[in-house]
Amino acid sequence: MFRASRKKIEWYLTRNLARPLDDDRTSIQLTFEPKGNGHVKEDERYYLEDKQNICGCGGDKRLTSHHIVPYHYRKYMPPEIKSHSSHDIVLLCVKCHDEYEHHATAVKKLLAEKYDIPLDGRGLVTHPETRKLHSAINALKFSQTNHKIPPARVAELEAFVRTALAVPEECAEIPPEMMEEALTRPQWTRGDDFVEHGEVVVGAMSKAELETFIYFWRAHFLEHLKPMFLSETWRVDNPIRNI
Ligand SMILES: [Zn+2]
């Protein structure tokens, strides 16, 4: 006997490859010997199961893949853990995803404090002149449709933007494409010594601590998302390494 989606169960039943074990046809027994599924350990069953395209809340619309251990931590983990991620990627609808992210962000903020590394990483170089230019351009654009900004202030902003963008004098107005290009300039960039938040947090952990960290995120996901529809073989303490 094994678990499978309703669609898969019907697929087996209509081909006489299985017989139903109960009246509502939710459990079946295969009428043939399946290949490759022998000697499956209890904690490895999840990987052999037929997965359903359904969110933990039962929704099946606008599903996205959710990394239970946030990706920006997992990507810095040793390969034997990193490559073993199918267990920790589940499908969530947008609503559940957004709700859970709120809880996950609270944890990340605590980690930022504990490991003294901001969520945006360390080593960002800010460009205040670009920020000032962006706000001047945005105010100018706003003034074109809204006349609340006094004309004297608009003239001041125009003069500032013209100088910053080196607009040729023969241009009566600042070319919109020059302003749009300027808005694409980054307000901050990564310096040579930039380090990501996840890199510092994961780098500070021993292997044993990393394992606890992964189990923590699984338990946190269960506690806060309270999925009603999650594979019965999904376990917080399922293996975290390659099997
Ligand atoms: Zn959902």
What is the CA(232)–ligand 1 centre distance, in A? Answer: 17
> 82-136: per-residue pLDDT in tens?
666 677 888 899 999 999 999 999 999 999 999 999 999 999 999 999 999 999 9
> 180-194: per-residue pLDDT in tens?
999 999 999 999 999
Phi, psi of 3, rounded to the nearest 5 degrees: -90, 145
> 31-89: per-residue pLDDT in tens?
655 544 444 555 555 555 556 678 878 888 888 889 999 999 999 998 887 666 677 88
- The rounded distance, in Å, linking the Cα atoms of 3 and 12 is 12
- The rounded distance, in Å, linking the Cα atoms of 106 and 63 is 23
**pLDDT on residue 37:** 46
Tokens, residue 243: 């099997």
Listed residues: CB within 5 A of ion ligand 1: 55, 57, 59, 93, 96
Greatest extent of the chain over all pairs of C-alpha atoms, in Å: 85
Helix (H, G, I), strand (E, B) or coil at 63: strand
ipTM of predicted assembly, 2 dp:
0.98
What is the CA(58)–ligand 1 centre distance, in A? Answer: 6
> Residues 6 or more apart from 87 whose CB is under 8 A from it?
46, 47, 234, 238, 239, 240
Single out the residue of 9, 51, 6 nearest to residue 30, CA to CA.
9
Residue found under tokens 């992964």 = 214
